Amino acid sequence: MSSPLAIAAVTATICDLLNNGLIDNDLAPLGSFSVTALPPDRIETGNNEPNRLNLFLYQVTPNSGWRNECLPSRDSHNQAVRLTNPPLALDLHYMLTAYGSADWAAEILLGYAMELLHNLPVLSRQDILTALSPTNPISVTLIPPDPQGRKAIDLANQIEQVKITPHYLSAEELSRLWTSMQARYRPTMVYQVSTILIQGVRPVRSPLPVLTRGPEDCGVNSQTGISAPAPSLPTLLVLRILPVVATEQLLDAELGDTLEFDGALLDGGTVSAEFHHPLLTAPNLLPLEPGATASLVRVLLPQSHNVALPSFVANADQDWPAGIYSVSLKIERPGKPTRFTNEMPFAVAPRFLVPPAVGAAAGGTQLTVQFFPQVWPTQPVEVFVGGDPLPVASIAAKIGTLTLSMKSVTPSEEKVPVILRIGGVDSQLVRDRTAQPPRFDSQQTVSVPV
């Protein structure tokens, strides 16, 4: 998710793209020009009117698709600790106006700008990172970080892509718009930019997972004996997680586990697995395990915290961040085009290297957790003790240890679970799901002193 600075970040990014696009098209015969983001009534017009493209945010509306995505942020008792941080989902509406000092100059600028935005319907993450980089000539120092540490460049990490859609207004609509601006009309095009997700990073209360279901919860009814037609292209159909400890049953993978895929037409000259993650600049590649067939393959996830395991690869705990991945198979055959299967999503969960430890500290107690994989500087990280959130300072470099104050934790006479959440994926509290009744992992609990 992005920050309250996302609106300014969108405007700055589009202005940067327009400015670079006009420069690349070599409009020197027009003379000098500029790209600005000013209200139309503040732009000089008349005999001294310069060549200019102006992008003005004239309206902000809620995005209906995301408007009710999360639960309310507080419960009926209006407690101090929030339940959720629902995103503020917005659509931005811009006027793109062209000004010119000579005949046809405004029309030329508007035409090039419309073509640029037509060929760029989505603001890519790289476009945003480039536009908001400190080295960019556009001054991003005017967009400082907010008190919660969020920055304008966080827009590049939000889950939704930022899409640009043209809106063709009628003459009457344009007339009303310009009349409200109390400015002289100039050639104008209107665009909608969506979706901008603004979300806080305040601590929230996290409920513990449900261990058992009630007797009336029987699940859905399904019909057996129906099979889908065989795929005609290399296809992944089923993904299974095979933990290091065979008796465990995990919902998410951990480094060192094996991923097993059922599929069709998975054989070829050289087959490898390609892993994508939002923080990786290039996908991580892994070979298949021996014994792969056209319908069944296995991939061993690397780890670098246990030399005795066959999955040991130096620096794996640094190079494979926790979070949501997508994986596909890359099939290369001599003399033929490279083929890729469909992508399948899965999560890599963080895990404690040693049980969490509670110790004395100045002014109270503190919790120390050691874990893998390491958390990256831009990743959101949260720690919960019995559902109570602990404040986590900003991460400046990749680390595998956190030491946190426990002042805000409710004392308990019994041991309570500790949850580590990195990139939206929780450490797995229940490791043996065959036990009846299920139990929290005793190696992930601590005593909270009174």
Same domain as 370, residue 327: no
Q: What would the DSSP string read from start to end of 233-285?
A: S-EEEEEEEE-SSTT---SSB-TT-EEEEEEES---SEEEEEEE-TT-SS-EE
**pLDDT interval class at 249 (50, 70, 90):** confident
> Does 99 have pLDDT greater than 80?
yes
Residue 385 lies in a domain: yes
By three-state DSSP, how is residue 404 classified? Answer: strand
Q: What is the 3-state secondary structure (H, E, C) of 43-93?
A: CCCCCCCCCEEEEEEEEEEECCCCCCCCCCCCCCCCCCCECCCCCEEEEEE
Same domain as 282, residue 420: no
Same domain as 368, residue 256: no
Residues 398/402/404/410 CA torsion (nearest 10 deg): 120
Mean per-residue pLDDT, 147-161: 77
Same domain as 183, residue 53: yes
**DSSP-assigned letter for residue 386:** T
pLDDT at 82: 67
Same domain as 61, residue 14: yes
- The number of residues making up the chain comes to 450
Check the CA dihedral 136-137-138-139 and report its sign: positive
Residue 215 lies in a domain: no
Same domain as 312, residue 390: no
pLDDT at 355: 93
Tell me how many degrees the CA angle 61-65-66 measures, rounded to the nearest 5: 80
Which range has the worst mean pLDDT, 199-203, 418-422, 442-446? 199-203
Query: How many other CB atoms are found less than 10 A from the CB of residue 17?
Result: 21
36-46 confidence digits (pLDDT tens): 999 998 888 88
**pLDDT interval class at 372 (50, 70, 90):** very high
Its pTM surpasses 0.85: no
Residue 289 lies in a domain: yes
Same domain as 193, residue 72: yes
Which of 320, 348, 376 is at the close of a domain? 348
**pLDDT interval class at 78 (50, 70, 90):** low
Share of the chain above pLDDT 90, in %: 47
CA gap 425, 432 in Å, rounded: 19
Amino acid at 381: V
Residue 220 lies in a domain: no
> Count of domains in the chain?
3
Mean per-residue pLDDT, 193-217: 79
Which range has the worst mean pLDDT, 210-219, 322-331, 337-346? 210-219
Same domain as 400, residue 326: no
Residue 331 lies in a domain: yes
Same domain as 27, residue 114: yes
> Does 205 have pLDDT greater than 80?
no
| Pairs from 36-41 (Cβ < 8 Å, separation ≥ 24) | 37/11, 37/12, 39/181, 39/183, 40/95, 40/97, 40/178, 40/181, 40/183, 40/186, 41/181, 41/182, 41/183
Which of 198, 227, 255 is at the close of a domain? 198
> Does 420 have pLDDT greater than 90?
yes
Same domain as 287, residue 160: no
pLDDT at 146: 67
pLDDT at 351: 95
Q: What would the DSSP string read from start to end of 113-180?
A: HHHHHHS--EE-HHHHHHHTSTTSSS-GGGS---TTS--GGGGGGSSS-EEEEEE---HHHHHHHHHH
> Does 291 have pLDDT greater than 90?
yes
The residue with greater pLDDT, 112 or 136, is 112
* 8 Å CB contact between 162 and 120: no
> Does 17 have pLDDT greater than 60?
yes
Residue 132 lies in a domain: yes
CATH code, domain with 426 = 2.60.40
What residues have CB less than 8 Å from 303, skipping those under 6 apart? 255, 256, 309, 311, 312, 313, 316, 317, 372
Same domain as 341, residue 362: no
Range of the domain at 248: 235-348
By three-state DSSP, how is residue 308 classified? Answer: coil
Residue 204 lies in a domain: no
CATH code, domain with 262 = 2.60.40.10
Same domain as 355, residue 283: no
**pLDDT interval class at 161 (50, 70, 90):** confident
Residue 269 lies in a domain: yes
Which of 144, 175, 198 is at the close of a domain? 198
> Does 164 have pLDDT greater than 70?
yes
Residues 182/183/184/186 CA torsion (nearest 10 deg): -120
Mean per-residue pLDDT, 192-200: 87
